Amino acid sequence: MNKIKKYYIIIPMITAILSLIVMVATSYNTKSVNKSYSMFTDDLNSNNISTVVVDSSPKMTVTLNNGDKYSTDNPHTDTLKEKLLLNGIDVKDETNPPLTKTIPASIFVLSLVTLGAMLISKARGGASSVTSMEMQDFSKNKKDALNFNAVAGNEEAKESLMDIVDFLKNPEKYQKYGARMPKGVILYGDPGTGKTLLAKAVAGEAGVPFYALSGSDFVQVYVGVGAARVRNLFKKAKSHGKAVIFIDEIDAIGKARSNGKNGSSNDEKDQTLNALLTEMSGFGQEEGIIVIAATNRLDMLDKALLRPGRFDRHIQVALPDVNAREKILSLHLKNKPHENIDIKDIAKKTIYFSGAKLESLINESAILAAKDNSNSITSAHIESAYSITLAGHEKKERSYLKDEDKLLTSYHEAGHGLVSMLLLPKDKVSKITIIPTTNGAGGYTLTIPEDKNYHRIDYLKNKIKVSLGGRAAEEIIFGKDKVSTGAEGDISQTTDIALKMITEYGMGETLGLIKLSSVGSLYSSYGNPVIDECKKLVDQLYEETLELLRENRDSLDKIALELLEKESLYEDELNKLAI
């Protein structure tokens, strides 16, 4: 609710109080002593009365010649009025209440109703006025517009978003070719990695207005309010023609519905989600509106959101690696006085820091420099700020442990990467990184598998070996009693492939060309021999993987140590190291 509206609420309050005062005052005025009817007839007979006010009430008001007032019983006889008039007494017949009473009374009631209505709409958060909506019109103030230069690192995300910028600039171009551009994009990754910044930069680059709202703003106590807010948001954006609509924390409305724990609030969530989907299918390609949503966890989202025509483009925004950290640090130092700072060194020490955390590190240093009245930020300020930031985020002794973790992750990922490059050269390893992802993996190896309709048995065996490569590398370097839980995902993938080979693809001995799931009730009696065969296959493949890595120990070391240094390695760097 904006400021003016906030003050409006005072108006009915004032009118209610004023009308109440008037009502009390007038009724106080007319209040008078009560006298018996016989005393009234005495006054009547002695000609003491000047006026009598008669209305439909059981009392009438009598005013004497000396100005005194009193009330007495109204006999409700027809003759009374005539008798009074004959005695020269002024008779006021007020069977309808005077305006002096009805006006304040009706104002009072009206004020209360208005006040009540205002309070209810305020409690509902003012469905029509979206509270915390942020709007920046980059189509007008082009100078302040953020662009991709404000986002350091995140090169892959920026590249994907470039298409969207071009689409926003010339939607007609894509329409001409009949290309379907995405209506919705999901940016996913850890908090503080620059998702909001990227969305804003898209609007800035394209020169269109940027509307932002957080998913949690949509979910309210009252059912229907969230949906109304969604419609309002889209209405506002559409009124501008082209626009970027940014919805932060989309999981607040789009979380998968499977575990109906939240009971009643689900109703509201569903309505809001449905309104969002309806709005998204409601605008056409040519309109140039793009909805960008952000979340920490892509895997938590309702599948309905991810279907084609909705949020069908998913872009990962990862924690920065050492290179990206250096760029982010430089960017945030750029407009601050500083001297003799070894940015490369800080970048090395800040593994697992998000962009936001790096920004706060620089900010903290600037505050320290200001406190010192120093001319510029020095490395001493950054050192202190670093300790403050670390102390705030994690225990100090962990930073040593982290180094060993880093080494283990480096060897684990190098193991996957190297086995893949040696055995499956057609599946390109495009990236290896030891920067963790939000779904809990310590690092990951990204391969682009060759596109094929079917796979041969040797391919599947090699695929298993790639999966086992991580654990095998850990065992070779750190010993069998030092292996980690980092291989959990790999092991489940290995089991899946091996089981399918034996029970579905007809590649095993126990079942031969029989498909286990078609055997039905006999299933259980085949269970154990199948597992035995699975284990034998995987054990065998694991031994072969160990051997392969031992033979290529040099390359394994090179990749792992380079990975430790650079944190991420890309295809061409890897190709050089593997030979």
* Interaction site with Zn ion (CB under 5 A): 470, 490
Is residue 418 involved in binding ligand ADP (CB under 6 A)?
Answer: no
The stretch near ligand ADP (CB under 6 A) out of 70-78, 132-140, 176-184, 193-201 is 193-201
User: Which residue of 161, 165, 185, 197 would you call a contact of ligand ADP, by CB under 6 A?
Assistant: 197
Is residue 328 involved in binding ligand ADP (CB under 6 A)?
Answer: yes
On the CB side of 357, CA atoms within 13 Å amount to 23
Token pair for residue 241? 């023609």
Which CB, 15 or 354, lies closer to ligand ADP? 354
List, in sequence order, every residue forming a beta bridge with 93; answer none if it has no partner.
Answer: 54
Q: Out of 279, 359, 413, 567, pick the active-site residue.
A: 413
Burial of 225 (0-12, 13-18, 19+ CB in 10 A): buried
Token pair for residue 510? 């126990």
Is residue 164 involved in binding ligand ADP (CB under 6 A)?
Answer: no
On the CB side of 287, CA atoms within 13 Å amount to 21
Which CB, 251 or 544, lies closer to ligand ADP? 251
Number of neighbouring beta carbons within 10 Å of residue 155:
13
Among Zn ion, ligand ADP, none, residue 154 binds (CB under 5-8 Å by kind): ligand ADP
413 is catalytic: yes
Is residue 359 involved in binding ligand ADP (CB under 6 A)?
Answer: yes
User: What is residue 143's three-state secondary structure?
Assistant: coil
Among ligand ADP, Zn ion, none, residue 490 binds (CB under 5-8 Å by kind): Zn ion
Q: Which residue is nearest to ligand ADP (CB)?
A: 355
How far, in whole angstroms, is CA 130 from its chain's centroid? Answer: 15
Token pair for residue 358? 């790096």
What's the closest the beta carbon of residue 408 comes to ligand ADP, in angstroms? 27
Number of neighbouring beta carbons within 10 Å of residue 44:
17
Token pair for residue 44? 């009547």
What's the closest the beta carbon of residue 288 comes to Zn ion, in angstroms? 42
Name the DSSP letter for residue 246: E
- Angle at CA of residue 179, ends 174 and 184, nearest 5°: 90
User: Which residue of 104, 171, 184, 192 would you call a contact of ligand ADP, by CB under 6 A?
Assistant: 192
What's the closest the beta carbon of residue 138 comes to ligand ADP, in angstroms? 16
Among Zn ion, ligand ADP, none, residue 415 binds (CB under 5-8 Å by kind): none
Number of neighbouring beta carbons within 10 Å of residue 459:
17
Q: b vs e for 541-562, b when ≥16 Cβ sit within 10 Å of the residue's Cβ?
A: bbebbbebbeebeebbebbbeb
What's the closest the beta carbon of residue 256 comes to ligand ADP, in angstroms? 21
What x/- string results for residues 99 through 138 when contact with ligand ADP is judged by CB under 6 A?
----------------------------------------
Which CB, 317 or 507, lies closer to ligand ADP? 317
What's the closest the beta carbon of residue 406 comes to ligand ADP, in angstroms? 21
Alpha-carbon torsion (458, 464, 468, 469), positive or negative = positive
- Residues in contact with ligand ADP by the rule CB under 6 A: 151-154, 191-197, 294, 328, 331, 355-356, 359
Q: Which residues are catalytic?
A: 413
